[in-house]
Structure 1
Amino acid sequence: MIPNPHGRSYSKKEQALLSVFKKSCTKRDIEQLHAHLVQTGFTQSLFVVGKIIVFCAVSDECSMDYAVSIFKTIENPDGFLWNTMIRGFGRMNQVHQVFSYYKRMLDHGEIADNFTLSFLIKSSAQSGSILLGKQTHCNAVKHGLDGHVFVRNTLIHMYGMLNNLRIACQLFDEMPNPNLVAWNTIIDSHVCCGKHQEALELFSQMLDAGIKPDDATLVVILSACAALGALELGRWVHSIVDQNCSMNDVSIANSLIHMYARCGELEEAHEIFNRMKSKNTVTWNTMILGLAAHGHFREALDVFSIMINEKDAPPNDITFLGVLSACSHGGMIEKGRQYFDKMTKEYQTKPAIKHYGCMVDMLCRAGLVIEAYLLVQSMPMKCNAIIWRTLLGGCRIHGNVKLAEKVRMHLLEVEPDHSSDYVLLANTYASLEDWNQVSRVRRSMTANGVQKPSPGNSFIGVP
């Protein structure tokens, strides 16, 4: 029996269902509540059913497939439910479904609001398509919502993600009184695009405008400091963190560890790491990678062992990237083999091409170029030029001309006109004093019009 929404008992029953929903936190709870809705005839109560769809859209417990199955049964979904479905698909990075449901929403007669446009803009950023991003921007203008502060900030973020800082800055500059979120967004956009110095200059302008930074600002600025090696500014940010008692924020503590590690101040990084009461996977990864990058290979593996023993946070693909890098640079071949094997068997982490790259680098450093070549041949994905070039470099160092020639043939298929490949092969022959082959490779390089790139340069910051 379908309850009468105008009856006296309807609102009381609806409130009772909502109170039950507040206690539901798992997929099983939600499924039981949904079954009860079907039995009691409340499947058309948008308020109650909407709570279930929101749970599916924002929680990892339920899938969007389950949300779709419920949404299909609703005769007249309102704008909130359409927005929730769009939001859920956006969170799952299902861009096609996002815009499919948006079209259906318009066909249903619903009008897009600032939430709708913000979800669409976020999905456009995730798609990586500047064309889709501009089309969504035009749609926001068409609906008269491009000036809405929430939509405008999301647009700035989108153009930053799509590496179009010109439009992002233009949108920001058009804001008469940008709030803290707008400042954070434009600063973060610059950091995402690798414009770290410009990000710090914007931060200075923000402070001059009287805007007080929050935790999100500090995380982004610490990232810029890490990239630039701006240790003194990073320490100043650290002092602000201490003043505001923000060290309990895991993301800020992680950013400080990353900044100090990138600047070579491992003692300060380790001090923050040890003081943290709770650590997530990013915390452990940052410390492991920082130690490995500065040659503290055994310490990096010790931190990994503690991470495994404490079981506070599970290791992921980035963890093993740091571990394998430590094994590679530390010459710990057997440990590297063991961890690479454990990745899949014990931690259900599928090796990506970067992990294979670490293994190839490790084996080449140890002179095991044949084993490295066999590993490349067994890779489940297509090998890229970087790994082939690593192997070619190993062949040069250890004088394996026959394998170098094989590897060079593979490189010709992937990236035929890279000057370093000619140089590495020529140097391999030179190490064996086979000058005729050296001359042949160099003539081939000239005939193919391949030239060495212009020299690089270094930057050293002096305090």
Structure 2
Amino acid sequence: MVNRCFKFIKPSSKWKTISFSTHSLPKLDLFCHFSSQTPTKIPNPHGGSYSKKEQTLLSMFKKACTKKDIEQLHAHVVQTGFTQNLFVVGKIIVSCAVSNEGSMDYAISVFEKIENPDGFLWNTMIRGFARMNQVDKTFCYYKKMLDHGGVADNFTLSFLLKASGQSGSVFLGKQIHCSVIKHGLENHVFVRNTLIHMYGALKSVQVARQLFDEMPEPDLVAWNTIIDCHVCCGKHKEALDLFSRMQEAHIKPDDATLVVILSACATLGALDLGTWVHSIIKTRLLMNDISIVNSLIHMYTRCGELEEAQTIFTKTNNKNIVTWNTMILGLATHGHVQEAINIFSLMINKKLALPNDITFLGVLSACSHGGMIEKGRQIFNKMIKEYHITPTIKHYGCMVDMLCRAGLVVEAYELVQNMPMECNSIIWRTILAGSRVHGNAKLAEIVRQNLLEVEDHSSDYVLLANTYASLEDWNQVSRVRRLMIDNGVQKPNPGNSFHIHNGNGIGLFCYD
């Protein structure tokens, strides 16, 4: 835990008190959008103060792009005696901390041999650990920096704020917020934006909004951050309202803004606004940005405009796996089963992209909706044997749903029995519903017992009772009804219930 290696700073009583949420949210990705404001390179050496050897070494780092390159250059640094040259050695640490090819373990081995690291190198190490979501080490190195007489600056605190958001700890976030105030950096634009981002990551959206509203003239990054906070916290309507305010403030949206807004439009089904955003994208010639293209396809499929989504998909030449997955899932969700499978077949037969677990989830969902049992079995086996992808509970859920729709409830039960993980209530309830539809009272009773070990819900008793009722076994119906009374089973919230028949033989009880 962070508490083992970081001594928290107690806030002064004169500081303003803010109410904080105790909920947490997985980390947001927007930080990478404005992290470009941080220095990613050590300043270039100035002419005569550097020898030819130093200049040669520094120029060689410009060509280094792989881990092997960095290791070879490090060996050359050691041989030439520049292990204490902060500019030269700093290049190695920067490469490890900010590059996808880098290794923080390797950065540690280099950093620990530096006798007097400067503030930039401390910040780079802290930044690297925050980037790798190693929260403990982030704060341990911050403490080491303070122990060595280092002073936190706006970059240090921004990296610590990012790590606090990743930790999910509101308490930790509050402590670093206090440190920001102590250092007089609460109005520093970059730090302020990171503060907003952190509270969004901690799902304290009200505090994030308060910090944003206090900014006299928020810049584009601030607008993007607060809009993304609302989207990630499920407040999509509020995000669109903020986008409208952003337009009124004459702040021109960039690609990051448009991606987030398209996500909100997809969730709300705001097709008109999504189409308007699409027109902006075409005007600015942004259709080569694959993240924007993927967001557009997602928005159109969620809004039911499959023809437009397919048009964009077909015209896109630089498709990545997200593009393929989005189109397959969109088609499967709307019952366009064969089209989804055709796109999957095109992708793997022509080796246009390597499928992942999400790809197979979409295809199995299509097979389930289309009643394509044998095809579903083949794809499930292909995922395991050819692509070596371990099925998750969701993949098993798709298989169970597919088998139950086809009346193969016993096979579905056997599949669950052989799962490498614990079965959840959703899958058990799928088999229970299938048993009711197909009149397998014996299996329904077994499944009901398994459900009791996971979750006890009134709908399960109803499904079991209806199973016996479909067989006209009224004695068993009465027994289940008495069991409900004896166990004090009631609907969790009063309301209306209704029965949905999905056209495939499976009935679902829905509550409002």
Correspondence for 2:211: 171
Q: CA deviation digits over 1:273-315, x for unaligned, max 9?
A: 1111201111111101000000011111111122223434322
CA distance in 1, matches of 2:278, 2:315: 14
CA distance in 2, matches of 1:291, 1:215: 26
Q: CA deviation digits over 1:71-95, x for unaligned, max 9?
A: 2211222222222222222222222
Look up the SS of the partner of 1:111 in the other structure. Answer: coil
CA distance in 1, matches of 2:384, 2:116: 47
CA distance in 2, matches of 1:398, 1:412: 22
Corresponding letter in the other structure for 1:439:
S
Look up the SS of the partner of 1:248 in the other structure. Answer: coil
Q: Tell me: CA distance 1:60–1:310, structure 2 relative to 1, closer, same or farther (3 Å).
A: farther
Q: CA deviation digits over 1:240-265, x for unaligned, max 9?
A: 11111111111111111111100111
Corresponding letter in the other structure for 1:360:
V
CA distance in 2, matches of 1:305, 1:31: 42
Is 1:451 the counterpart of 2:483 in the alignment?
A: no
Q: In structure 1, which of residues 4, 25, 29 is the aligned counterpart of residue 65 of structure 2?
A: 25
| TM-score, normalised via structure 2 length | 0.84
Shift of 1:456: 7.9
Corresponding letter in the other structure for 1:435:
W
Correspondence for 2:319: 279
Correspondence for 1:295: 335
Q: Tell me: CA distance 1:415–1:75, structure 2 relative to 1, closer, same or farther (3 Å).
A: same
The CA RMSD measured in Å over matched residues stands at 2.0
Q: Tell me: CA distance 1:383–1:184, structure 2 relative to 1, closer, same or farther (3 Å).
A: same
The 5 Å alignment of 1:43-442 reads 43-416=83-456, 418-442=457-481
* Structure 2: gaps of 5 or more residues: 1-44, 499-512
Bigger shift: residues 123-132 or 268-277: 123-132
Look up the SS of the partner of 2:116 in the other structure. Answer: coil
Q: Tell me: CA distance 1:140–1:455, structure 2 relative to 1, closer, same or farther (3 Å).
A: farther
Q: Tell me: CA distance 1:177–1:330, structure 2 relative to 1, closer, same or farther (3 Å).
A: same
Corresponding letter in the other structure for 1:51:
K
Q: CA deviation digits over 1:215-242, x for unaligned, max 9?
A: 1111111111111111111111111111
| TM-score, normalised via structure 1 length | 0.93
Post-superposition, which runs of at least 4 consecutive aligned residues in structure 1 deviate over 6 A? none
CA distance in 2, matches of 1:224, 1:31: 44
Shift of 1:451: 2.5
CA distance in 2, matches of 1:196, 1:371: 41
The 5 Å alignment of 1:35-46 reads 35-46=75-86
Corresponding letter in the other structure for 2:407:
G
Look up the SS of the partner of 2:51 in the other structure. Answer: helix
CA distance in 1, matches of 2:202, 2:143: 24
Corresponding letter in the other structure for 1:276:
T
Shift of 1:27: 1.3
Bigger shift: residues 215-224 or 374-383: 374-383
Corresponding letter in the other structure for 1:426:
A
Structure that is richer in helix per residue: 1
Shift of 1:397: 1.6
Shift of 1:11: 3.1
Correspondence for 2:28: none
Bigger shift: residues 178-187 or 312-321: 312-321
Q: Tell me: CA distance 1:456–1:422, structure 2 relative to 1, closer, same or farther (3 Å).
A: closer
Bigger shift: residues 286-295 or 434-443: 434-443
Q: Tell which has more relative contact order, 1 or 2 (C-alpha 8 A, sep 6+).
A: 2
Bigger shift: residues 303-312 or 88-97: 303-312
Corresponding letter in the other structure for 1:27:
K
Corresponding letter in the other structure for 2:445:
E
Q: Tell me: CA distance 1:99–1:344, structure 2 relative to 1, closer, same or farther (3 Å).
A: farther
Bigger shift: residues 377-386 or 22-31: 377-386
Corresponding letter in the other structure for 2:208:
A
Q: Tell me: CA distance 1:441–1:202, structure 2 relative to 1, closer, same or farther (3 Å).
A: same
Correspondence for 1:461: none
Bigger shift: residues 426-435 or 177-186: 426-435
Corresponding letter in the other structure for 1:444:
L
Shift of 1:129: 2.2
Shift of 1:348: 2.9
Shift of 1:349: 2.2
- Percent identity reads 76
Bigger shift: residues 308-317 or 61-70: 308-317
Q: Tell me: CA distance 1:137–1:436, structure 2 relative to 1, closer, same or farther (3 Å).
A: farther
CA distance in 2, matches of 1:348, 1:147: 51
Look up the SS of the partner of 1:48 in the other structure. Answer: helix
CA distance in 2, matches of 1:32, 1:245: 42
CA distance in 1, matches of 2:93, 2:158: 19
CA distance in 2, matches of 1:190, 1:173: 14
CA distance in 1, matches of 2:461, 2:275: 45
* Structure 1: gaps of 5 or more residues: 458-463
Shift of 1:42: 1.2
Q: Tell me: CA distance 1:266–1:447, structure 2 relative to 1, closer, same or farther (3 Å).
A: same
CA distance in 1, matches of 2:352, 2:110: 36
Shift of 1:59: 2.5
Corresponding letter in the other structure for 2:160:
L
